[in-house]
Each structure stands twice: as C-alpha cells, then as structure tokens.
Structure 1
C-alpha cells in the first residue's frame, strides 16, 4: 500500500508512551510504501538502509539513498519517500537519532579528534550521504542485534554506539566530521548557552547571572535559550532539577531536607514549592506515596 502522511521522527517509531530522549536507536520495518510524506525530524538522524530505497527532499537539496549507503539528516522539516525493492519485500532501516546537545558534548569530550583544516563549501548542508563499507555493515548488524529484543537499550549503551560511529567517521570521513563541527562553531553562542545551562544545572545561579556570564542581555539569552531547548530557562531548569530530585528521593531514598542544596536551592521551602509545582505533592508526600505502592 502506498501512503502519503505526516509524522515526526523519532516520535513516530517509538513505543507508545515513550518520550523523546537525547539519543534513540530504533529498528524500523514496514510493508507500506510512502510517497512524499511530510516529516518533521525532531532530532538529527543517522539512517542506515537494510532493504528498500529512500528519497529525501529539503528546500535546497534532494537525494536518493540505497541500501548500500547511509545518510545523516539534519533536524527540521523534509519530504520523504520510502519504497520496497520487491513486491514481497520490506522497507527496513536502523536509525540513530540524537539531540544537538549530544553532538556538542562529543566535540567537547574529543576536542582534538580531527585536525584543523579548511572547511569545505558543503558546510551547513541539510544532509550528508555516505557509502557503507564492511566496518559499517558490521556496525549496523550490531545495532540490529541490540534492538532485536524487547528490552530498551540503556542511555549509556546508546551513547557508546553513537561515539563509536563518530570516532570511526573521524578516521574515514574527517572532512564531513569537520563540517559537523563547523556547524557548531558557526553558532558559537549556542555552545556557550549550552555550557552555561548544563554546567550550572545544579548550582545556585539566577537566569540573569547566566545571561551576564554569556555576555548577553537577559531578553537575548532567554530568546536564544528557548530556540535551543524548546523551553524557557526557568521551565527547563525546573524540569531537569525535579527529574533529578525524583531519582534522589526514590532510587537513592534520600530525605528532602538532604537534597535541596544539591539541586541549587537556597532553602528547603523553595525546593518544596518548586517540586509541588511540577508534581502536585510535596517531596515528602511524593516519596511516601511512591515507596508505599
């Protein structure tokens, strides 16, 4: 059956109820063919074709990708067609989707992974196509084995496979990896804002202070932060801190009075107020309710 539809990736291929995380590794299989579906890529995406053919259209470029190639697609909107190579076959692929922050952290972790060269004029292109070699065939096979079971892969394992792929690209496709880094360097303010947020997540600093540290006005910092994370600084810090608080309360079973300062709060009452804003209960009530279920 040939379909034309609209969907978002990776949300479309995730199990029901699963949220979008920093990295996903997903095997996808379908007997349906899609023609010019409108696709919103919520994250950057490595797509490895196992069977079938993919056509990708961005505003300024398009390409046809076969099962002897893999493609790196940038986040955003595109039009995509997928078809089988035989009437009784499947369209099969394995995908690694990743948030921009993951790529940023990779280059921060491996600052000298590629030598400084002049960037090519392909910097900033919406996607890059690569030929699959024997190493990548084995790499994709390992992804298939890992995703074959019903158990969700741990974030550590997903990150390990992502880094394995990029480290291999540094050896075999250094110019393309330089292009990826150039895209980050071309927007240095984004890197500064990410560092300010992630390095101060649990520190007692204000949004005004973070803006000052980034040499930006408060309004500019808020606007750029919203564009990067899809949430205001206040909302993002609140959500991240409360997620950490839940882990400390339920997994580590710490007392609320023992953790507020670890999460960047000056006092217990302000922590309790923030926690109740998100979960509708005080930390003590939440801990008692969840641990007695």
Structure 2
C-alpha cells in the first residue's frame, strides 16, 4: 500500500512552508488502514461517518460527535461511511512553529500532566459547531486578510479548548512541540494485542519491515512474528476463559483472517481447540 503524504497531496492549494491549512475531505467508499505520513499537526473535525486512527503508541476511534487532535508523524487511518452517506471530515493542519508562537504569545508554561496520550479527543458542543461554520468561510485563504483571519480563528480555538479542558489540554499541546519520539518498545507493546500486521506496526515505528525485524530481534531476542503470536494467543485464551465471548467473536481482533487459522494456531500452542474452552 502506498504512503500518502498529507497535507501535501491535497491539491495544489497546499504550499511548502504553510503554517495553517484547511481541507474538506470526502470519500464515497470505506478506507481501511490507509498509510499516512502527516507533515503537520492536525485537527480532524468529523462531520459524517466514523474514524479509527492507529498512532505510534495508541489507537483511537471517534464519531461525528467528536473532534480529534493528533500530532504529525506516521499513522494508519480507517474511515467508514454511515450507511450510504458520504464520509466527510474537515481538517485543520498547523505547523509546530505556529503552535510555538501561540504558546509564547500567551505565555503558557509547561507543567507536569497526569496523562500521556498520543491524541486528544474533543467533545463537540455549540461553540465547535459555530467555529466550523466560520471555518467554512476560510477554505480559500488566497489573500493576506483571509490568512490573518484564519490565524486569529486558530488562536481562538486553542484558547477555547484551554478554557474547556484546562491544564490537561495545555500539557498536550506541549507534547506536540517536543522533539522526543515514542520509544520502539512502547509502540510495539501498545499494539501487541491488536490485529495490526507486522508491516503496519513497522510503519508506525517509521521503519521498513526489514529494519523493524532486525531492531525487534535486538530488543526482544526473538522474531516479531513468533513473539506477537504468542502474546496474542495468550491474551485470546484469557478472554475466552472468562466465558463472555466465543472464538468466532474474537479471532479477527488478534490478527487472524478466519476462524480456522486461529483455531489451528491456538491448538498448536495450547493443545486444545479454542471452541473447547468454556
């Protein structure tokens, strides 16, 4: 699957060095685990549909009643339609330099935060609805006046969210200007119970598959395929032993394309079929 460089691929409206950029994204078909390289931080204001994002060390799902803020870097996007409707998401991209100017202008200071998330979910409200209406008028900021107005609206949005979420949001903004990257092991272990393939986890680590495998051997002393299978099957057995679900309900959650393959791997490891647990 090709890597999409965003927002660069969004028409010739995007110019290198742009600090703020708006784009209305629409699709008429489901998009599953699209590989994306974000060169800017991004607000995703979902209007119609649902969205799932795998970021370096986390995964998050949002609906049309929520907005999502994520940092630049590699991620996997899944965008799903609501029945026969068009998927519609308004995107607001901003550079690290623009965020730094905001933090410096209003003299915010970094303080320790209790959470360490790779994303920030915003619950939409009346203000957000009005903000998006205003943003729709600024989708073609060709003039200096429109660019200045977009800059003012960006500051307004951040100030509103700081008022709504307080120090938790300020702390998250500071994580977006940090030069620290998520450690390799953190990314791997956040996704070890997911259904992501090796190449998808490697992508989130910003590595080729061959580099990822070499690095994995150094860190864990065994091949990643065997290690992940062991972790996922062990977790699957724990889930089945609780008796709330059947093997047919969970095989996809742990990276298996069908029940038969899951059952064979499970029996090879534990000597018992997953359907016999209960």
Scaled to the shorter chain, the TM-score interval is 0.5 to 0.7
Q: 1:188-267 residue pairs with structure 2 within 5 A? A: none
Tell me the SS of whatever aligns to 1:103.
helix
The equivalences for 1:45-194 within 5 A come to: 45-87=42-84, 89-112=85-108, 118-122=112-116, 125-147=117-139, 152=142, 154-183=146-175
The one of 26, 29, 52 equivalent to 1:29 is: 26
Q: What's the TM-score, normalizing by structure 1?
A: 0.55
Q: CA deviation at 1:59?
A: 3.1
For residue 39 of structure 1, what is the aligned residue in structure 2?
36
**Kept in 1: contact 2:50–2:79 (CA 8 A):** yes
Q: Deviations over 1:32-57 (max 9, x none)?
A: 32110000011000010010111100
Q: Is the 8 A contact 1:5 1:34 kept in 2?
A: no
Does structure 1 conserve the Cα–Cα contact (< 8 Å) formed by 2:52 and 2:78?
A: yes
CA distance change for structure 1 residues 18 and 74 in 2, over 3 Å: closer, same or farther?
A: closer
3-state SS of paired residue (1:111): coil
Relative to structure 1, the CA distance from residue 103 to residue 151 in structure 2 (aligned partners, 3 Å threshold; closer, same or farther) is closer
What secondary structure, in the 3-state scheme, does the structure 2 residue paired with 1:12 have?
coil
CA distance in 2, matches of 1:181, 1:17: 27
Deviation sequence 1:108-157 (CA, Å, 0-9, x none): 10015x8x7542232xx32111110111111112212333xx66363212
Q: Which secondary structure state, in structure 1, belongs to the residue aligned with residue 56 of structure 2?
A: coil
When the two structures are aligned, how many residues end up with a matched partner?
Answer: 177
Whole-angstrom CA distance in 1 between matches of 2:178 and 2:134: 34
Q: Which runs of 4+ in 1 moved over 3 A?
A: 150-154, 184-188
SS at 2:77's partner residue? strand
Unpaired runs of 5+ residues, structure 2, are: 181-278
Matched, 1:16 2:6: no
User: What is the deviation of 1:174?
Assistant: 1.3
Counterpart Cα distance in 2 of 1:181 and 1:9 = 20
Higher relative contact order structure (alpha carbons within 8 Å, sequence separation ≥ 6): 2
Give me the whole-angstrom Cα distance separating, in 1, the residues matched to 2:100 and 2:62: 27
Deviations 1:149-202 (A, max 9, x none): x663632122111101001011101133221344268669xxxxxxxxxxxxxx
CA spacing shift, 1:52–1:181, aligned 2, 3 Å: closer
Given that 1:33 and 1:83 are in contact with CA atoms closer than 8 Å, whether structure 2 keeps it comes out as yes
Q: Which runs of 5+ in 1 are unaligned?
A: 189-293
Root-mean-square deviation over aligned CA pairs: 2.4
CA contact (8 A) 2:41 2:94 kept: yes
TM-score by length of 2: 0.58
